[in-house]
């Protein structure tokens, strides 16, 4: 089986941005290269307990944010060069005089539970997060959001804010209105609020004890074909990471800088970012 990630867009972007390097196997027969073939499972030794991947329950540091972004999409995203690219919003324009952004949303988008996504979800998300703060996202600059029609929404700002697209539009996970509209306390992990998004992966399982996470590719993902069917985050002793890679127990590890020379000596292929 080819060990390779082609289309885990959000995970790869965040993974490589937040880590200094990644180590891949390179034994002649199993080489980590980009391919258009789908992969059944990708095992990543980057575990630890970071909370359930809900925007309101996850610990919002590197690994936690990556897990959340597998499940929830934002209005826009960034490519490898940092340029804003479409995600849930396929087009947008800015009215400089009135400090307003008009977003045209993708059609036919589904939530993981099969419900339709619409502009109502975007407006609801903004209002809900303004009332239930996220530690990495400040929406004070947002005056209001209004639905124009099923696929268009206008976001009005208090004044001109240059980083809006880079910080808010790309950093705000859109949540489903039909799940959260009756949730008074989204921070209560005991309530087990469904982690339903419209991103490329469906949240399947999380073990607090073992620090492991399981995600399944969403066949109905609107943005592209998901090429890795299942992603597993596993928690391992840092001292045995390279052995786990050699033994084919994992496909990707996140080593410390101190262990790089040893890993290179083992014949492993180091990809620095």
Chain Cα centroid distance, residue 204: 15
Name the nearest CA neighbour of 3 among 37, 32, 38.
Answer: 32
Rounded to an integer, the average pLDDT of 196-201 is 96
Q: In what order do the strands lie in the sheet with 228-233?
A: 201-207, 212-217, 228-233, 39-45, 252-253, 21-24, 269-272
Helices (H), 38-99: 62-71
Query: pLDDT tens digits, residue range 204-247?
Result: 999 988 889 999 999 999 988 888 899 999 988 877 777 888 78
Query: What tokens were used for 31?
Result: 């080489």
Alpha-carbon separation of residue 175 from 13, 104, 117, 122 (angstroms): 21, 17, 10, 8
The predicted structure's pLDDT at residue 120: 98
Average pLDDT, the chain: 83
> 267 falls in which pLDDT band (50, 70, 90)?
low
**CATH T-level topology, domain 9-71+199-272:** D-Maltodextrin-Binding Protein; domain 2 (3.40.190)
Sequence-distant (≥ 6) Cβ neighbours of residue 109 within 8 angstroms: 88, 116, 117, 198, 222
* Domain locations along the chain: 9-71+199-272, 82-180
pLDDT digit string, tens, across residues 130-175: 999 999 999 999 999 999 999 999 999 999 999 999 999 999 999 9
Q: Which CATH class is domain 82-180?
A: alpha beta
pTM: 0.82
């Amino acid at each position: 089986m080819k060990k390779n990630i082609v289309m885990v867009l959000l995970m790869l972007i965040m993974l490589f941005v937040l880590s200094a390097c990644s180590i891949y196997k390179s034994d002649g027969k199993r080489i980590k290269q980009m391919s258009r073939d789908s992969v059944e499972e990708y095992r990543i030794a980057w575990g630890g307990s970071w909370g359930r991947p809900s925007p309101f329950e996850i610990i919002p540091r590197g690994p936690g944010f990556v897990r959340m972004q597998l499940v929830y999409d934002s209005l826009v995203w960034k490519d490898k060069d940092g340029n804003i690219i479409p995600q849930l919003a396929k087009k947008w324009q800015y009215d400089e005089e009135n400090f307003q952004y008009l977003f045209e949303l993708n059609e036919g988008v589904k939530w993981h539970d099969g419900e339709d996504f619409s502009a109502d979800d975007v407006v609801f998300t903004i209002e809900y997060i303004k009332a239930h703060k996220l530690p990495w996202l400040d929406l004070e600059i947002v005056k209001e959001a209004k639905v124009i029609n099923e696929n268009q929404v206008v976001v009005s700002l208090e004044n001109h804010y240059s980083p809006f697209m880079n910080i808010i539009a790309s950093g705000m996970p859109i949540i489903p209105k039909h799940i959260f509209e009756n949730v008074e306390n989204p921070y209560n992990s005991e309530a087990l609020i469904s982690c339903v998004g419209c991103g490329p992966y469906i949240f399947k399982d999380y073990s607090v004890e073992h620090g492991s996470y399981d995600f399944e590719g969403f066949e109905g993902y609107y943005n592209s074909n998901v090429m890795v069917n299942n992603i597993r985050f596993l928690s391992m002793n840092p001292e045995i990471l390279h052995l786990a890679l050699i033994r084919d127990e994992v496909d990707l590890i996140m080593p410390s800088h101190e262990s790089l020379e040893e890993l290179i000596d083992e014949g492993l292929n180091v990809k620095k970012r």
